[in-house]
Structure 1
Amino acid sequence: MAALVDLIAVALLNVYAVVLIVLRARLYGARLYRPMLVNVALSFVPVVGALAAVAGLLFLAPALTALADLLQGVVPVILWGYLTLATLLWLLFFPNAIYLITELNFSHRGADDRVPLWFDIIQTLTLTLSGIMNAIASLLIVQSEFIVLIADPTGHGSGAPVFSWVFAGAVIVLGALGVYLGRYLRFNSWDVRHPASLVRKLAGHLREPGRALELGGFVLTHALLVALVYVPVFTLFYRALFE
């Protein structure tokens, strides 16, 4: 029940962000900044993807159990193949949630903008928080899924397994890297279809003076921010659900 309430709260935060974006245009006669609306939708995709992966697993597991006698030795391969594919697809869109941190640059605001600064502050902050919470919610779902599948999480009282924290840490760092690639090299999740072009552009970018240091600083600071929010949230969730 608590997990459902949390998910509803995250969804409402996204709705609030959309409402503020639309109200900005309606109340002050400003241009509707459509890229923000697109970014809100994209940032919620990882949450939908994580829920879809769990739903698919709940459907697949009973079917594989029923066919266990016919598919001896193949069931684990199918199960882990599904999980690997679902996780990789989810990971491709995970940076879209963290990306909303970069909206705090107020690039949508003009010098002669009639919108009060206080409104843009709360609107942009809500947008950013919705992205962070989307990232946290989706990672929380996926990390919990792996814990349930790999280890018995109940009754130990020793916290989440170390392997799950390693997984979460790697995802957060990759997510921050994805944000950098999106903000500075304008890559999208679907550009992974052209890995050679991605590597070539990144290599050229890093050859520019100071870019490698900038990349390291960007990834480190963004990853630490998300981690410092995620760790206590997941710890509370884990204790409430499993201990």
Structure 2
Amino acid sequence: MLTLILGIAAMNLFAAVLILLRPKLFGTKLYKPMLKNMGLSLLPLFVLTAAILFMFLVMICIAPAAGLAIGLAGVVLWLLLLPNAGYLVTELNLNHRTADKKEVPMWYDIIAVLALSMSGVMNTLLNVMLLQLIYGVFVHPADAFDLGAVNNRIFWLMISAVFLLISFGIYIGRYLRFNSWDILKPKHFISLLKQHFRQPGKGKELMVFVLCHTAFFLLMYLIVVWPVLTER
């Protein structure tokens, strides 16, 4: 597991270095939205980690019920922020190149944006893996780090639901330009949703987008996380 975490950290660092080197190597301006999106991609992980630590601290020092309430609130906040982790996959459209006044080699942008997108995918998987470990701690404490011990229908429904929510969040973030904090303005949020989905074909577009991205994240989860947590 440590190797996985270090590898994900290295991928994030590699992507950041390529973004920062781009203007120095090719005389272009730094594309700051990419760095901002990288920060937002890492934010859910820090929020979930802080929520877990605070939850256990309150459970030990004050009361279990209070700790659980804090943990639940932290998970809700984490879910609202989580699409930011996977949002980096949308950088693959390479639209940052339109802002360049000097041409940057396509090969450089391909590897840089691919690293950036994969860092977002890996961050998403790491977040969901932490959620799985929390689930394991409460459901099967003795084998919390063994995915096989919690390999049941409820677990997979939970994981699939999380990836569905992530995919939906990525969609509305990309095409409706919503941010996680826009949920604080529910009337405006719902109004824009209705306006968007009244357009012909948008419902179908959403369904295909969400199903494709959910399947992609599930496959990546099976490839990356499953072997780590089931190895003996």
The TM-score with structure 1 as length reference comes to 0.87
Match of 1:145 among 117, 134, 140: 134
Give, in whole Å, the separation in 2 of the partners of 1:59 and 1:89.
18
Does residue 105 of the first structure (1) align with residue 103 of the second (2)?
no
Match of 1:47 among 24, 45, 48: 45
Task: Confirm or deny: 8 A CA contact 1:147 1:164 kept in the other structure.
Answer: no
Larger radius of gyration between Structure 1 and Structure 2: 1
| Secondary structure in structure 2 of the residue aligned to 1:109 | helix
| Secondary structure in structure 1 of the residue aligned to 2:223 | helix
Give, in whole Å, the separation in 2 of the partners of 1:46 and 1:184.
21
Match of 2:206 among 212, 215, 220: 215
Alignment-derived partner of residue 229 in structure 2: 238
Give, in whole Å, the separation in 1 of the partners of 2:209 and 2:8.
26
| Structure holding more helix per residue | 2
Alignment of 1:73-112 (within 5 A): 75=64, 77-110=65-98
Aligned-residue RMSD, C-alpha: 2.0
Percent of pairs identical after alignment?
36
Does residue 123 of the first structure (1) align with residue 112 of the second (2)?
yes
* Counterpart AA for 1:129: M
User: How many residues are aligned here?
Assistant: 229
Alignment of 1:159-174 (within 5 A): 160-174=151-165
5+ residue gaps, structure 2, are none
Match of 2:35 among 37, 41, 49: 37
Offset at 1:130? Answer: 0.3
Give, in whole Å, the separation in 2 of the partners of 1:192 and 1:132.
24
The TM-score with structure 2 as length reference comes to 0.91
Give, in whole Å, the separation in 2 of the partners of 1:12 and 1:222.
24
Offset at 1:48? Answer: 1.3
Match of 2:123 among 134, 138, 143: 134
Task: Confirm or deny: 8 A CA contact 2:58 2:66 kept in the other structure.
Answer: no
Give, in whole Å, the separation in 2 of the partners of 1:39 and 1:222.
18
The runs of at least 4 consecutive aligned structure 1 residues that moved more than 6 Å come to: none
5+ residue gaps, structure 1, are 68-74
